Structure 1
Amino acid sequence: MSHDRTNKLLPRKDARTIFEAGILLSSFDSSSVIERSHHRAIPHAVFHSLYQQLQASANLSPYEFSLIRDALIHLLQNSSLPLLPLSLSTTRRSSALQTDPIVPAFRHTSHSVPNWKSLLFAWAEYSQEYLIALSDERVVLFANKRAQERFSLVEGLVLESDWEQDRLTNCFLEELDLGEKTWYRLFFIRPCTSALSKTASSYSFSEIHTNSPLYHDQLHTARIAAQSLSNTLLLGETGCGKEVLARAIHSSSSRKDGPFLAVNIAALPRELIASELFGYTEGAFTGAKKGGQPGKFEAANGGTLFLDEIGEMSMELQVLLLRVLEERKVTRLGSHEEKSLDIRIIAATNRSIEEEVRNGQFRADLYYRLNVLQIRIPPLRERKEDIATLADEFLQQLHTQYACGPTGICESALAILQQHSWPGNIRELRNIIERAFLHAYSDSWLTSHHLPSEWQQQYGLQEASGEPLPLLRELERQTIQQAITQAPSISAAAKKLGIARSTLYRKMEELGIG
């Protein structure tokens, strides 16, 4: 199946993405692919079909539900763009989503469009998220059951300007961008300490698996940082796990019950960084919200603020940040009132910050304030003994999520993974394993054939037939023996290795480990 258009990912604030232009999002076998010539034969009742499937969401897998929800969100964002869902397979439990300009838009469907509140209700009740919709005047237009019970919200209630500060203890509002066409604003109410899908306990040091002496040394420093009150600077390439380590430090510190907020300086428009960090009052600038808005420093009070890509901060903002760190007070834009802070800063950068200080591109006094404890996270190419463990951990997570798919990685595939230089580090490894998992969905093992085809040519390895690669087998044996020796039980050893206990028993039998 060939496509002549470039894929474009539509960004989502809740970390999901959907394809916006003309290609299969995911397909687990060739039988689920429908050729372009058949597109015109698909019924036009797209919206009606999606809504019915969402209402029946109890029978859908998480993967299928996410596809349907993404399609509906896409409709809310821009109802003029057509979406074409392929039918959900009842035999393979596979599904796919396509878009194509030749398909009539949603407004051409002959079925009645369900009320948008019913749509939000079906979505929110399945996902168990706190979801509210507000008018520009901050009138509650919709609140799902969980939000009503937890935050005493009812339709028609007008939220005062200080409602977030008074009622959202350790929570914050995250707005979903619906474009400029809607007359309401949609918000998630998120816990500050669990912005990601993991639970707070998942960000402990015990969840960071490594066999690398280099990283073990740095983790020792990180544990010291967790027991201190000092600011900490994390150094490492993009994708090496700086935020995961920052969260582990927070979760193991005396501030673990307080909020953890992460701000990526590089991801914010330069003109918005100050208002995001320090907050603003009503009328501080054109477009300022009625009642103003607290900044990240205030929101993280009593907890930890993680400033990622700190090297991207302008010199003007560095002066303001230095003042906050020295005086432990923050002033909103447009105000003269100072608010006291009890906050711990963890900063991170992928730049050579010392060189930037020497070149006058980063303030030396701010560098010394942030760099009380320094932790360098080694890139994945310097800790290749972790590749097999991490790859298996990601594979087991995917298998648990989908309740099927491959459960093991063959040695020829591991050999290719060991040879790659991993410029994207752990983030790239996770992406490659997830892609390979989807290609190997109906198989028991993930093989080299499921990895990118150019890698097979580049690294010159063919699928192993018969005996496994001896050096890799010995490396795996040593890693497992070391984990079993150091752990008090098999369950603890499996947890240390990042694999299921049943997987560890199977590997012990294969490797002849008593």
Structure 2
Amino acid sequence: MVLAHNQDRIIVFASRQAEECLSLRAGDVLDGSREASLHNKWTLEEWPVDDFLHTRVRLLAIRPHRHFHAMRDTIPFPLIQTNSPLYMAELQTARVAADSLTNTLLLGETGSGKEVLARAIHGGSRRAQGPFLAVNLASLPRELIASELFGYAEGAFTGARKGGRLGKFEAANGGTLLLDEIGELPLEHQVLLLRVLEERTVTRLGAHEENPLDVRIVAATNRPLEKEVAEGRFRADLYFRLNVLTIRIPPLRERPEDIAPLAVHFVQELGKKHGTGPSVLSEDALFALQSQSWPGNVRELRNVVERAFLLAFYEPAITPVHLPAEWNGAPPRIAHKGQLHSGSGLLLREMERQAIRQVLAEARSISEAAKKLGIARSTLYRKMGEWGIPLDGEGSMGSLRRKKEPRNGQIKVDN
């Protein structure tokens, strides 16, 4: 990066990299305090020069510190915890993105946490006090994309709001704008976006004046943009403009070491939200979670854990019977406490009864059945009595060994 300022410390030249990474432009003042802050993260090298644009100037070359990455914390973003070396390496690049103000492209499958990472980059940057706005381009009707992004002036079209409307670019001034699903942007709007990125100005629909922009762009997509460019569906110049720093978020199937910690975190988070509920995941439940491929990534994992949490709401632990039935062939058991919605109560109670019968049929003892269900033996006996499930009835406890007690003739179950 290169900067040049005159004797009054007014910047007379800033390279494009300096504009993007440092948010410094010609006309800005590089006072002593601002230059001192640059020394904290960058190496400033002064180049001797006598005349530049017919003005005596000081010319600065600015580079990252030689040991820039080594000085960083092991975990760049405290709110994003990972045990995956793949993701840790990408987070180091994200740390560089946060320290700079350059355009950043996030690549990742649906549900992998692209917006979470974009927020972390914003929160770790010098723009953290500015606004963070996210717009999902795939969810916008084609005819509304331009007005949503760039805004419009009064009278720009029929039904336009009086006084006009601010677009997302202007609303994010001084902060960060996440353009999610950038691969869905139609070609005619890609041209408009490219112009905004090049000129750093925006013109509202129906207006003529250009409004200056000071906004950091983070784009995200689950599409292979290089392939989209090769097939003519995405402009190459826009791709290269956005692709200054690229961060690929590994899908959950490539970081299985994160599944259990994430699931435990979600359970703790849900416990705080509801004030009660199961506090742990059984080992069998964790094993079942780790055996899945998770095509929906972190979002799917969170949804599954939340569903299991609610099904096990009145029990101490989440067990495999609370997980999707198709995983183990058994319907989920619902912890009933007489507070279920009356319209679905009978169905839910029947599901609970069937789940108990299923586990009892497969278990070798009452203790094993109670453990699989994540409940105490006394609770299981109470449930069996509540549902009228006998120790040797059809489909329940048929595999258990029983013998007569000589004193009172009662059945004793070997545990």
1:282 counterpart letter in structure 2: E
1:368 counterpart letter in structure 2: F
Matched, 1:408 2:285: no
How far off its partner does 1:465 sit?
Answer: 3.9
Matched, 1:310 2:182: yes
Residue 133 of structure 2 aligns to a residue whose secondary structure is strand
Aligned partner of 2:384 in structure 1 is: none
Matched, 1:205 2:77: yes
Counterparts of 1:424 and 1:375, CA distance in 2: 19
How far off its partner does 1:209 sit?
Answer: 1.1
Consecutive aligned runs of 4 or more in structure 1 exceeding 3 Å deviation:
461-466
Q: Which of 82, 98, 101 does residue 226 from structure 1 map onto?
A: 98
Aligned partner of 1:13 in structure 2 is: none
Give matches, 1:81-480, under 5 Å: 205-457=77-329, 465=368
Residue 159 of structure 2 aligns to a residue whose secondary structure is coil
How far off its partner does 1:297 sit?
Answer: 0.3
Counterparts of 1:413 and 1:440, CA distance in 2: 12
Counterparts of 2:88 and 2:101, CA distance in 1: 22
Deviations 1:64-118 (A, max 9, x none): xxxxxxxxxxxxxxxxxxxxxxxxxxxxxxxxxxxxxxxxxxxxxxxxxxxxxxx
Deviations 1:440-489 (A, max 9, x none): 0000000000001111139xx988949x99xxxxxxxxxxxxxxxxxxxx
How far off its partner does 1:294 sit?
Answer: 0.6
1:294 counterpart letter in structure 2: L
2:180 counterpart letter in structure 1: D
Residue 301 of structure 2 aligns to a residue whose secondary structure is helix
Deviations 1:53-73 (A, max 9, x none): xxxxxxxxxxxxxxxxxxxxx
Deviations 1:402-457 (A, max 9, x none): 11100000011111111111111000011001100000000000000000111113
Counterparts of 2:87 and 2:219, CA distance in 1: 19
Counterparts of 1:364 and 1:317, CA distance in 2: 14
User: Considering only aligned residues, what root-mean-square deviation do their CA atoms show, in Å?
Assistant: 1.9
Residue 304 of structure 2 aligns to a residue whose secondary structure is helix
Deviations 1:221-252 (A, max 9, x none): 00010001110000000000000000000000
How far off its partner does 1:207 sit?
Answer: 0.9
1:281 counterpart letter in structure 2: A
How far off its partner does 1:355 sit?
Answer: 0.4
Residue 329 of structure 2 aligns to a residue whose secondary structure is helix
TM (norm. structure 1) is 0.50
Counterparts of 2:319 and 2:275, CA distance in 1: 19
2:95 counterpart letter in structure 1: R
Deviations 1:130-181 (A, max 9, x none): xxxxxxxxxxxxxxxxxxxxxxxxxxxxxxxxxxxxxxxxxxxxxxxxxxxx
Counterparts of 2:111 and 2:293, CA distance in 1: 13
Counterparts of 1:444 and 1:299, CA distance in 2: 47
Counterparts of 1:415 and 1:254, CA distance in 2: 42
- Structure 2, unaligned stretches of length 5 or more? 1-75, 331-358, 373-415
Residue 134 of structure 2 aligns to a residue whose secondary structure is strand
Counterparts of 1:348 and 1:465, CA distance in 2: 48
- Structure 1, unaligned stretches of length 5 or more? 1-203, 470-514
How far off its partner does 1:354 sit?
Answer: 0.5
1:333 counterpart letter in structure 2: L
Deviations 1:5-43 (A, max 9, x none): xxxxxxxxxxxxxxxxxxxxxxxxxxxxxxxxxxxxxxx
How far off its partner does 1:291 sit?
Answer: 1.0
Of structures 1 and 2, the larger Rg is shown by: 2
Deviations 1:365-409 (A, max 9, x none): 000110000000000111110000000000001101111100000
Give matches, 1:8-23, under 5 Å: none
Residue 211 of structure 2 aligns to a residue whose secondary structure is strand
Counterparts of 1:445 and 1:288, CA distance in 2: 55
Counterparts of 2:184 and 2:324, CA distance in 1: 33
Counterparts of 2:368 and 2:145, CA distance in 1: 56
1:371 counterpart letter in structure 2: N
Counterparts of 1:391 and 1:340, CA distance in 2: 45
